[in-house]
């Protein structure tokens, strides 16, 4: 198509770990945009269950079926990362009204500070309760969170549990 400007969407997060909710939103975004970049945030000042490299690897393994999705580790401001990537839109999944309130403030800030727009996708109601912190809590406590995360993530969680971490 002559003159077609490829659209790039950016979805950022810590993804500690990536959940089925994240995968669902990214899959839906990938159907709407030419290219989707998943930015795995690396903030050395915050503790995470998995390292940034491990988290990025789990995201890649969980999204191997999506050829137009690229996974990149980033540090710093999201608006700077969006500009580097040529992202036209930030995409955020919304699980509930609390998410919407928080994300609305963030979206207005990102637009004012970086000129980037944010699109919201509502979570699939069947999995809207899932969060990374809930998965970590269940897995750390010896519970079964396998239905909440992609298979590579569950295997990594089980390996951590076996290693006593």
Catalytic residues: 22, 46, 95, 132
Bond before 17 cis per omega within 30 degrees: yes
97-114 and 78-85 helices, crossing angle to 10°: 70
Query: CA–CA distance from 119 to each of 93, 106, 134 (Å)?
Result: 9, 12, 25
């Amino acid at each position: 198509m002559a003159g077609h400007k490829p659209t790039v969407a950016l979805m950022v997060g810590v993804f500690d770990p990536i959940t089925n909710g994240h995968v669902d939103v990214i899959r839906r975004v990938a159907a709407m945009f030419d290219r989707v970049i998943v930015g795995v945030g690396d903030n050395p000042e915050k503790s995470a269950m998995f390292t940034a490299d491990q988290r990025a690897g789990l995201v890649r393994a969980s999204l191997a079926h999506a050829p137009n999705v690229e996974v990149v580790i980033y540090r710093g401001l999201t608006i700077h990362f969006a500009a580097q990537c040529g992202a036209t839109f930030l995409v955020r999944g919304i699980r509930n009204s609390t998410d919407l309130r928080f994300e609305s403030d963030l979206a207005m800030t990102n637009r004012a500070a970086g000129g980037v727009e944010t699109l919201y996708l509502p979570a699939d109601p069947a999995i809207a309760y899932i969060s990374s912190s809930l998965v970590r809590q269940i897995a750390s406590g010896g519970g079964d969170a396998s239905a909440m995360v992609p298979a590579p993530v569950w295997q990594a969680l089980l390996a951590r549990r076996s290693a006593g971490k």
